[in-house]
Amino acid sequence: MAVSFLVPLLVAALSVGVDGHQTTVLPQSKFIPLRPASSTLSIQLTLALPPTNIDGLHAALYDVSDPKSPNYGKHLSKSEVEAFVAPKPGSVKAVTDWLTQHNVHPEVVSSSGDMLRIDIPVSKANSLLGANFTEFEDKTSGTTLVRTLSISLPDDVEPHLKFIYPTTQFISATTREKPSFQVVTPPALAHKRQTLPQICSVDVDPECLEDFYHIPAAPATASGNSLGVSAYIDEIATQADLDFFFLAFRPDVTTAPDFSIVSVDNGITSGNGTLEASLDIQYTVGVATGVPTTLYSVGQPTTEGFIDLVNFLLAQDELPLVLTTSYGFNEVDFDGAEDLANTFCDAYAQLGARGTSVFFCSGDNGVYSFSFNSTCDATTFGPTFPSGCPFLTSVGGTQGFTPEVAAPFSGGGFSNIFARPDYQSTAVEGYLDALGGTNAGLFNSTGRAFPDVSAQSVNFITRINGVFGLLEGTSASTPTFASVVALLNDALLNAGKPPLGFINPLLYSQGAVALNDITSGSNPGCGAQGFPTMEGWDPVTGLGTPDYEKLLALVMGLSA
Ligand SMILES: *[C@@H]1O[C@H](CO)[C@@H](O)[C@H](O)[C@H]1NC(C)=O
Ligand SMILES: *[C@@H]1O[C@H](CO)[C@@H](O)[C@H](O)[C@H]1NC(C)=O
Ligand SMILES: *[C@@H]1O[C@H](CO)[C@@H](O)[C@H](O)[C@H]1NC(C)=O
Ligand SMILES: *[C@@H]1O[C@H](CO)[C@@H](O)[C@H](O)[C@H]1NC(C)=O
């Protein structure tokens, strides 16, 4: 296959006199133009306005997340966060005046007012933006996208818009790993209890995780605790599967707790249980038992769906204290769309500043991003998105017990978009020094490195639409780690302390003693050897896997 589809999207932004400010991208061979988009087709565009003080948001996030700060744990209110990201009145006026002149009436779609949405026919969008909206086939997924290779904005409007999406951004829909599903018969319970932990090398269930990571079996009790699970691509979990899962694997709990389903973008709220959502619900409700859990079913599998979920959450007065997401994108798709990538990342910073711990899986193709096919011809490794965002916690995968080693598929590496944050510089520089020249030129050593942590990720027994099967992937480790944090929050809330929120500054400065360091294995991909694990942080398993008891001692000892 030609290397050409890996040529990064080049963006030329040039001022062209009367035509205003033009943004043009080169045609990508991964996307084939099919035909002009029908002029009567309605197209929904999101307009992002520049935030008033984004540096202030980042500083405030670190201030409440650094255990050495006097403000540790003093999370911001909704209005405090919104004051940082709200657009300046001049921007709102410039953009709405321009739209009004064209008889277009925007809807405000974020609580802070930093995003507007318009719904207009293609003919109108073409004239408003000097665009040529075209149907493109996405060769990777076989789906069709409506995009334009160029837009142009009046000179007096352009400085007031960060981006208009979707226009010139060519980003494939989100990927969830399609975990292999091997149907199994669960072992008889009595047999299982007697043979812990050996049986855990055959199938992993909540009891194995409790045993191995010292996670309490007693259900959580704190009021005000909560855990959110993202679901895209028509994924859904059912109470019937969860009930059966509890019967089999949580005999200590008489009645399986229920979970809520909230629909965003007309996401489905019922149907047969599917792989990813069933796994995510069974290993949140089944591990963080007693923590009220909500599945957010998002109808849009695109970056728009991700933005809509985060805007939906940020509009609430009460946020889930933990949010786990086992979906993502290839970071290379955001080349030329860095403003969009930064907006995502800043949205997670807003959640963190308000006290939510945000977890994303690191991906299942080692150093080669979510999908082999999109990057295997690459001359460099392919980081996943949004794991490269410094304001969230990226979770890699391990396997085996005594010793616990890296899962070879564990996604990890270095972002090409986001620079390395201070909180991880000592850990990452230590790794890079020890790595020497290995993989030189294949990765960006100045980038934000991931994952941050990891957890077990193979042989997770899951009940899906009436059948038990084994699943593997960072899709399994992510809800597991998120559940540990939800249980830590339970203890903190019961002690009158604030929830953990953004945990990376804590983990990198003081967490090593409370995590199991993984020092064996690597994450090859596409024929490359990948990164080796090492003592301390590494881009395969991060700082390590959780030890709940040690983490509890650590977080209860903090001054907040
Ligand atoms: C608009 O895009 C179509 C492909 O959809 C192309 O055939 C046509 O030449 C383009 N028009 C202009 C004015 O660039
Ligand atoms: C749901 O599952 C049942 C039982 O496995 C099956 O008969 C039915 O066709 C499924 N429905 C859909 C919409 O897939
Ligand atoms: C990659 O593409 C090939 C051929 O197009 C296909 O057979 C294979 O299943 C794809 N692999 C993945 C991981 O998508
Ligand atoms: C490497 O990462 C930095 C951010 O740390 C970024 O500014 C730079 O453009 C990246 N280089 C390449 C070649 O992608």
C-alpha to C-alpha distance for 55 and 50, rounded to whole angstroms: 12
Report whether residue 33 contacts ligand 1, using a CB cutoff of 6 Å: yes
* Contacts with 193 (C-beta within 8 Å, 6 or more apart), sequence order: 207
Q: What pLDDT, on a 0 to 100 scale, did the predictor assign at position 526?
A: 76
pLDDT-derived band of residue 296, with 50, 70 and 90 as boundaries? Answer: very high
pLDDT over 70 at 16, yes or no: no
Q: What pLDDT, on a 0 to 100 scale, did the predictor assign at position 268?
A: 97
C-alpha to C-alpha distance for 379 and 530, rounded to whole angstroms: 13
Q: Give the strand pairing for 144-147 and 447-450.
A: unpaired
Read off the pLDDT of each residue in 125-152 and give the average, rounded to a whole number: 93
pLDDT over 50 at 6, yes or no: no
- Phi first, then psi: what are they for 304, rounded to 5°? -60, -40
Q: What pLDDT, on a 0 to 100 scale, did the predictor assign at position 30?
A: 84
C-alpha to C-alpha distance for 183 and 464, rounded to whole angstroms: 10
pLDDT over 50 at 3, yes or no: no
Architecture of domain 189-556: 3-Layer(aba) Sandwich (3.40)
Q: 8-17, 196-205, 461-470 — which one is most confidently predicted on average?
A: 461-470
C-alpha to C-alpha distance for 145 and 285, rounded to whole angstroms: 36
Cα dihedral 506, 508, 509, 511 sign: positive
pLDDT-derived band of residue 27, with 50, 70 and 90 as boundaries? Answer: confident
C-alpha to C-alpha distance for 40 and 50, rounded to whole angstroms: 31
C-alpha to C-alpha distance for 438 and 118, rounded to whole angstroms: 49
In the chain, % of residues over pLDDT 90:
81
Residue with tokens 């849009």: 300
pLDDT over 60 at 193, yes or no: no
In the chain, % of residues over pLDDT 70:
91
DSSP state letter for 203: -
Cα distances from 121 to residues 42, 124, 149, 169, 335, in angstroms, run 4, 5, 18, 19, 28
Report whether residue 141 contacts ligand 3, using a CB cutoff of 6 Å: no
Which range, of 101-105, 332-336, 402-406, 554-558, averages the lowest pLDDT?
332-336
Q: What pLDDT, on a 0 to 100 scale, did the predictor assign at position 10?
A: 34
Q: What pLDDT, on a 0 to 100 scale, did the predictor assign at position 20?
A: 81
Whose CA is closest to 57, among 106, 112, 20, 5?
Answer: 112
Distance 555 CA to ligand 4 centre (A): 35
Residues 417 and 331 sit within 8 Å (Cβ to Cβ): yes
Read off the pLDDT of each residue in 431-448 and give the average, rounded to a whole number: 96
- What the block records as the tokens of 325 is 């997401």
pLDDT-derived band of residue 4, with 50, 70 and 90 as boundaries? Answer: very low
Average pLDDT score over the chain: 91
Distance 457 CA to ligand 3 centre (A): 23
Q: Any binding-site annotation on 538?
A: yes
Where would I find the beta strands (DSSP E) of 226-376? 227-231, 260-264, 293-298, 322-325, 329-330, 357-361
> Angle of helix 474-494 relative to helix 275-285, nearest 10 degrees?
30
- What the block records as the tokens of 317 is 């007065």
pLDDT over 90 at 188, yes or no: no
Distance 272 CA to ligand 2 centre (A): 6
- List the 460-464 sheet strands across, edge first: 182-183, 467-471, 460-464
pLDDT over 70 at 132, yes or no: yes
Read off the pLDDT of each residue in 473-481 and give the average, rounded to a whole number: 96
Q: What pLDDT, on a 0 to 100 scale, did the predictor assign at position 147?
A: 96
pLDDT-derived band of residue 402, with 50, 70 and 90 as boundaries? Answer: confident
pLDDT over 90 at 358, yes or no: yes
C-alpha to C-alpha distance for 448 and 424, rounded to whole angstroms: 8
CB count within 10 Å of CB 416 equals 21
pLDDT-derived band of residue 375, with 50, 70 and 90 as boundaries? Answer: low
pLDDT over 80 at 292, yes or no: yes
Q: Where in the chain are the domains? A: 2-51+86-165, 189-556
Distance 375 CA to ligand 1 centre (A): 29
Report whether residue 401 contacts ligand 3, using a CB cutoff of 6 Å: no
From 417, 422, 432, 442, give the residue whose CB has the most ligand 4 atoms within 8 Å, as the site to mutate: 417
Q: What pLDDT, on a 0 to 100 scale, did the predictor assign at position 457?
A: 96
Q: What pLDDT, on a 0 to 100 scale, did the predictor assign at position 369?
A: 79
Q: What pLDDT, on a 0 to 100 scale, did the predictor assign at position 179?
A: 58
Cα distances from 461 to residues 185, 207, 364, in angstroms, run 10, 11, 18
Read off the pLDDT of each residue in 202-206 and give the average, rounded to a whole number: 90
Q: Which tops the pLDDT comparison, 370 or 195? A: 370
Could you report the per-residue pLDDT of 42-90, keeping only the tens digit for each? 999 999 999 999 999 999 999 999 999 999 999 999 999 999 999 999 9
Whose CA is closest to 478, among 328, 343, 372, 271?
Answer: 328
Could you report the per-residue pLDDT of 490-504, keeping only the tens digit for each? 999 999 999 999 999
pTM over 0.85: yes
pLDDT over 80 at 256, yes or no: yes
Could you report the per-residue pLDDT of 507-528, keeping only the tens digit for each? 999 999 999 999 999 998 777 8
Read off the pLDDT of each residue in 165-188 and give the average, rounded to a whole number: 73
* Contacts with 213 (C-beta within 8 Å, 6 or more apart), sequence order: 455, 484, 545, 546, 547, 548
Whose CA is closest to 277, among 234, 248, 246, 313?
Answer: 234
Residues 116 and 106 sit within 8 Å (Cβ to Cβ): yes
* Ligand nearest to the backbone CA of 37: 1
Closest ligand 1 atom, residue 134 Cα: 5
Q: Is 447 helix (H, G, I), strand (E, B) or coil?
A: strand
Closest ligand 1 atom, residue 34 Cα: 5
Whose CA is closest to 196, among 204, 248, 287?
Answer: 204
pLDDT-derived band of residue 200, with 50, 70 and 90 as boundaries? Answer: confident
Closest ligand 4 atom, residue 418 Cα: 4
Cα dihedral 115, 121, 122, 124 sign: negative
C-alpha to C-alpha distance for 175 and 477, rounded to whole angstroms: 17
Residue 152: enclosing H or E segment and its boundaries?
strand 150-153
Catalytically annotated residues = 276, 280, 475
C-alpha to C-alpha distance for 493 and 471, rounded to whole angstroms: 33
Q: What pLDDT, on a 0 to 100 scale, did the predictor assign at position 182?
A: 67
Read off the pLDDT of each residue in 284-293 and give the average, rounded to a whole number: 98
